[in-house]
């Protein structure tokens, strides 16, 4: 069969692809979401279960997504449809792409709000800085921000506009340059913050909190959240990685590239945890305080560290960029899919972006005007996040891995992966066919209480 070629050209090099995928993977998920969900779920066992999910479920699905994307070389809906038909299955596999787009809408709606918070913190660090502020004053800064819906709406609007701008231009032009300098700079700054935490925080306490596992305390709900975090942080299960895989040149090793991205992403999340929890513990803060965690701990570090006044704006600028490159990945599958129906990319990005912006108001108001509205015991934000991250992404990932492992025949997948049919290939295929789907199912069933009813746990 003749190979399809990408309609949008290719990444200029393997490095460019690695950078783009890691730009999508590394974002608020690592630095904002990971520490706060780890804190809420008691650290330790949660963190280890998350790392397990990353390598046992996330890695084979990452490889599957890139592989399917490159095979189809279209937007995720068309790719799943075309490759599905080609493999003698059904065109309704395209629905996986549709569900991914909906997940992307939901996630971006709150992601952009948090992106707006980073803009606010960039502003604070540039104007007053945090130097000399006490923990109480830093807490006050955050709660004042949350209580000001007008300001958050404005910042959310700016963040969405930035995202629409790049997606409207076409990612392969905008993204490469952005990520090329972002990643190294972010890693350097995290390194500096880590040395601060080692010197000034309760580092051994932080390490204990993150890695000392008490598996008896791990609830089914926490396991679901840990799995959701693995999908969220790796951008899996919604077609973002598939869309980037579509531009990958032939001959680039999908498995090695995916492994590199998964490793870097996980290290960055763990380092973020190792920075934040020693500060939390040294200052008597609450690890389980929720989405404000990063915004209340890092300023505290900057307030007392040498050159904190200089480093704070650099850090929040980098966090903003990292969030931006991820937000682009969240919007891309939708923009590309609608564009394929003969619309201009700019107008598509704008219209979809405005819809997502409006959805984001729910998250904003759940921190102030609608704080009392609770559904199933959670705020509006928690419900949107839970549905998209813990349910829809793993479900999308499950379907993707079943597609890669069962629908695509051995010839197609081994040809596309280009690693022959040796042990490496067989390991991937075993994980993709059996281990990943069954693990996702088990976590779902466990969270739904079904394993308990059957007397299995
Ligand atoms: N992985 C991104 C992060 O960690 C979020 C994301 C999810 C981006 C899904 C694209 C798709 O911040």
pLDDT of 9? 73
Q: Ligand 1 mean position to 198 CA, how many Å?
A: 28
Pocket test for ligand 1, best of 103, 232, 389, 397 (most atoms within 8 A of CB): 232
Task: Give the whole-angstrom CA distance, residue 48 versus residue 254.
Answer: 26
Distance (Å) from CA 108 to ligand 1 centroid: 9
**Hey, which of 27, 163, 400 would you mutate to test ligand 1's pocket, going by the most ligand atoms within 8 Å of its Cβ?**
27
pTM for this predicted structure:
0.96
The proportion of the chain whose per-residue pLDDT surpasses 70, expressed as a percent, equals 98
**What's the whole-number mean pLDDT along residues 400-407?**
98
* Region 379-407 average pLDDT: 98
What CA–CA distance (Å, rounded) separates 397 from 62?
A: 9
Asked if 276 and 431 count as a contact pair (C-beta separation under 8 A), the reply is no
Q: pLDDT tens for residues 422-437?
A: 999 999 999 999 999 9
Average pLDDT estimate for 79-104: 97
Query: Which residues does a 6 A CB cutoff place in the pocket of ligand 1?
Result: 24-25, 27-30, 107, 232-233, 235, 238, 240, 326, 329-330
Atom nearest to 28 CA in ligand 1: 12
Residue closest via CA to ligand 1's atom 6 equals 235
88 exposure class (CB count in 10 Å sphere: 0-12, 13-18, 19+): exposed
What pLDDT is recorded for position 281? 97
Separation of 416 CA from ligand 1 center, angstroms? 25
The structure tokens listed for 265 are 């992403």
- Residue 149 in this model has a pLDDT that exceeds 80: yes
pLDDT at position 174 = 64
CB of 239 closer than 8 Å to CB of 100: yes
d(CA 172, CA 165): 13
Q: How confident is the model at residue 183 (pLDDT cuts 50, 70, 90)?
A: confident
Asked if 17 and 243 touch (Cβ cutoff 8 Å), the reply is no
Question: Cα of 133 to ligand 1 centre, how many Å?
Answer: 32
Output the six-digit token pair for 133: 């502020």
Mean pLDDT of 182-204: 94
The mean pLDDT value for 94-106 works out to 98
Q: How far is the CA of 131 from the centre of ligand 1 (A)?
A: 32
Nearest alpha-carbon partner for 148 in 112, 116, 122: 116
Instruction: Report the pLDDT value the prediction gives residue 172, as an integer from 0 to 100.
Output: 66
pLDDT at 439: 98
Q: Output the CA 26–ligand 1 centroid distance in Å.
A: 7
Alpha-carbon radius of gyration of the chain: 21
With a cut of 60, say whether residue 1 has pLDDT above it: no
Best residue for ligand 1 mutational test, from 234, 235, 323, 393 (most atoms within 8 Å of Cβ): 235
Pocket test for ligand 1, best of 233, 294, 322, 393 (most atoms within 8 A of CB): 233
Q: Which helix (H) or strand (E) holds 381?
A: helix 380-385
- Ligand 1: distance of its center to the CA of 235 in Å? 4
pLDDT digits (tens, 9 = 90+) for 277-322: 999 999 999 999 999 999 999 999 999 988 899 999 999 999 999 9
Considering the chain, what is the average pLDDT of its residues?
94
């Amino acid at each position: 069969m003749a190979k399809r070629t990408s309609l949008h050209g290719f990444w200029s090099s393997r490095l460019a692809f690695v950078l783009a995928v890691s730009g999508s993977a590394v974002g608020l998920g690592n630095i904002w979401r990971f520490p706060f969900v780890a804190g809420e779920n008691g650290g330790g066992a949660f963190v280890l279960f998350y790392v397990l999910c990353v390598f046992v479920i996330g890695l084979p699905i990452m490889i599957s997504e890139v592989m399917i994307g490159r095979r189809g070389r279209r937007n995720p809906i068309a790719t799943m449809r075309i490759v599905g038909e080609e493999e003698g299955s059904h065109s309704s596999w395209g629905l996986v792409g549709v569900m991914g787009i909906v997940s992307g809408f939901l996630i971006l709606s709150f992601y952009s709000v948090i992106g707006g918070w980073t803009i606010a913190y960039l502003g604070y660090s540039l104007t007053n800085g945090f130097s000399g502020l006490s923990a109480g004053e830093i807490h006050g800064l955050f709660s004042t921000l949350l209580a000001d819906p007008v300001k958050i709406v404005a910042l959310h609007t700016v963040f969405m506009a930035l995202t629409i701008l790049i997606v409207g231009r076409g990612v392969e032009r905008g993204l490469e340059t952005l990520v090329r300098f972002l990643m190294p700079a972010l890693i350097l700054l995290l390194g500096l913050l880590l040395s601060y935490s080692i010197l000034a925080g309760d580092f051994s306490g932080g390490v204990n909190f993150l890695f000392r596992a008490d598996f008896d305390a791990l609830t089914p709900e926490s396991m679901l959240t840990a799995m959701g975090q693995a999908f969220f942080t790796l951008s899996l299960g919604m077609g973002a990685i598939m869309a980037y895989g579509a531009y990958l040149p032939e001959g680039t090793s999908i498995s090695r590239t995916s492994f590199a991205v998964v490793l870097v992403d996980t290290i960055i999340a763990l380092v973020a945890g190792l920075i934040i929890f020693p500060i939390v513990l040294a200052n008597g803060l609450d690890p389980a305080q929720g989405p404000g965690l990063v915004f209340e701990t890092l300023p505290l570090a900057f307030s007392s560290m040498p050159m904190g006044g200089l480093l704070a704006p650099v850090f929040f600028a980098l966090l903003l960029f990292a969030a931006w490159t991820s937000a682009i990945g969240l919007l891309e599958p939708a923009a590309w899919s609608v564009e394929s129906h003969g619309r201009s990319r700019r107008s598509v990005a704008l219209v979809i972006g405005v819809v997502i912006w409006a959805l984001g108001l729910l998250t904003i108001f759940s921190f102030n005007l609608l704080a009392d509205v609770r559904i199933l015991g959670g705020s509006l934000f928690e419900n949107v996040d839970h549905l998209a991250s813990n349910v829809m992404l793993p479900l999308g990932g499950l379907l993707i891995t079943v597609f890669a492992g069962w629908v695509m025949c051995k010839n197609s997948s081994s040809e596309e992966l280009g690693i022959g049919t040796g042990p490496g290939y067989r390991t991937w295929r075993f994980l993709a066919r059996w281990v990943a789907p069954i693990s996702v199912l088990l976590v779902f069933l466990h969270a739904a209480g079904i394993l308990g009813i059957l007397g299995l746990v």
